[in-house]
Structure 1
Amino acid sequence: MAAPLSHYTVVLTERQAEALEAYCRQHGFTFREVPHARFGAFRDDVNVVCYRSGKAVVQGRGTRDFVQFVLEPEILREARLGYELELQPELKLARVGVDESGKGDLFGPLCVAAVYVNESVVRAWQETGIRDSKRVGSDAAIRDLARQIRTTPGCVFEVVVIGNEAYNRCWTQMGNVNRLLAWAHARAVENLLHKDGRLEPFPVRVISDQFARDPRLVQRALMARGRQLELIQRHRAEADPAVAAASILAREAFLDRLTQMSRRWGVALPRGAGPEARTALRELVQRHGPDVCRQTTKLHFRTVAEVLGELGLPLPRLPAAGRAGDADSGAPSGTEGQEPSDLFGRAPGGGPR
């Protein structure tokens, strides 16, 4: 019996996109507007969105039937479901995907995950719905997918967490978020490659989203073992299963840490940097004083200075560089293994033993 399939993505030509829209109109689909999409349509247990870029996404309990009995025979005119590895042989290569979470969030740490996959891991994930965390609809779904990733035989991973005090100190030293992000990517990759006894076969490349204009930024940040691998940086790298898995583990780590911080400080700390975050910051400072910003926020966000200014309070002073005892200050002390010589805290994990 085929495994459940609730999500499928494919890139269509202009003619195929027109044919898909025509099919949906002719077969009773209800149309709706979706940002950046050519059209969105749904019926019963299937939802179809076709973006202007040509990417089409099918979701819902009826995904498998729609792909096998409509999309493949009527639109694509070829069978693809279950043949991804044969159609894209590069997906069989042993590789490391790396991605981050928390960069655009006022509260919480910067979390970077590196995930090793080989052919057997990718085959195991073909029908799990593992995809970029930003396209996963709920925190519960993130945690479910993260559990599947962590328990997949052959998958090895590393999650690096830069707590807020360490983040603020590093940002002050580096003066650039992308440099800090490149450093964190390199650290996660290096930590993972030190588990070489479990990487079978050893990876041939590292794949990362291209977040900086200068691709040499990450290349220069890579450490001894990371430099042995081919580095591929590209936009929308999360289309690769290894990067998608890394995005999910990084997001899970960020969500877990944000929950811990909310409990510790007695204020619900939201994601993002919008009005809800601004309101939460004001409450947090009124309860605990301005120094709490150093331990919970990314101080270079303009919102911090604005809220403190409204309250007539100064920005807190940054800690001196040195020992990393505060690297995970957003969580109760002792919850993570920390190395005094390293500014990074690591989230628990590393893959099934």
Structure 2
Amino acid sequence: MAHGRTRPTSRDVAHAAGVSQAAVSLVLGDKWRGRVSEATAERVRRAAQDLGYRPNLAARNLRLGRTRTVLLVVPALTTEFFAGVYTGAARVAAAHGFGVVLYPSPEGIGPARDPFASAQAALDGVIASSMAADALTAIRGDQLPLVMLDSDPRGSHGAATVNLDITDGVRQVADHLLALGHRDLLHLAADVPSWTFEIRARELAERLAAVPGTSLRTARSPLAIDAARTAAEAALTAPGPRPTAVICDDDLLAAGTYKAARRLGLRIPDDLSVTGIDDLGLATAIDPELTTVRLDAELFGERGMHALLAVLEGRTPARGDIPVELVVRASTAPPPAP
């Protein structure tokens, strides 16, 4: 048994637990089910903990021919949403002995330099947002086991896709505003070529087209508050009836709309209702607090990592979109009287 400063070995753990080294490897590699009993597994785990044993991952990975490292490709971290995705993915990865390397694509989208000499040699798999899909080509991530986030499952390059139920989120926003009585609406759309934003525009147009007497105009903006202020101000002062509600693709765009309304002397929600999507921290920091669709970013990351683990192990990933929820706050109200 190990004493003093000598690093304990798997043989020490096997001796302390009264089992073979093979049993120790099975338990600590989380491959014991069906091979050793629950009681034996618990005895091995307790012995390892008492001894302060840490497996030599580098040596084990060389034997396995795997690095136990996953790349998470996301847009540039301009909001906390993708930080939440990383947190969720890293939590599941750590529980399975994997590490996650976060790779923000420069400028949010577009090609990016390879962060490794050879991605295929350095990585076991990739989880990628469709908003940063172009970066995959540069890092050759599309040649590895790949899980796509926010991606059209019918045309995805990934072995699996994980999506939030963004269609239902847009439907909840539209139904909320329609129930309040709004009929002249503005869609402040994210100027980003991505499936997740295309699906928002399509669902919104279809939902409103089904209700007689509604009008929907669209303005586009980069995902930045100042750009959104400029776009919203131009749309709200364009010829024709002024919209009574603005549906924003993102909370950042909603914050820009608030600034535009203030510059135009419009009160929210008395003169103009505003909605967002994400439920970022700023949704409750702005005044009035924002009605928005809550997306569970950490659960999104967790599901992405679980899907990749399933792909790596030859299992079928769980199906079904992640539910989303409209959080109604003070930025929406019935439209002003004509």
Q: Same fold (TM over 0.5)?
A: no
User: Which one has more relative contact order, counting CA pairs under 8 Å at least 6 apart?
Assistant: 1
Say which one has the larger Rg. Answer: 2
- Normalised by the length of structure 2, the TM-score is 0.28
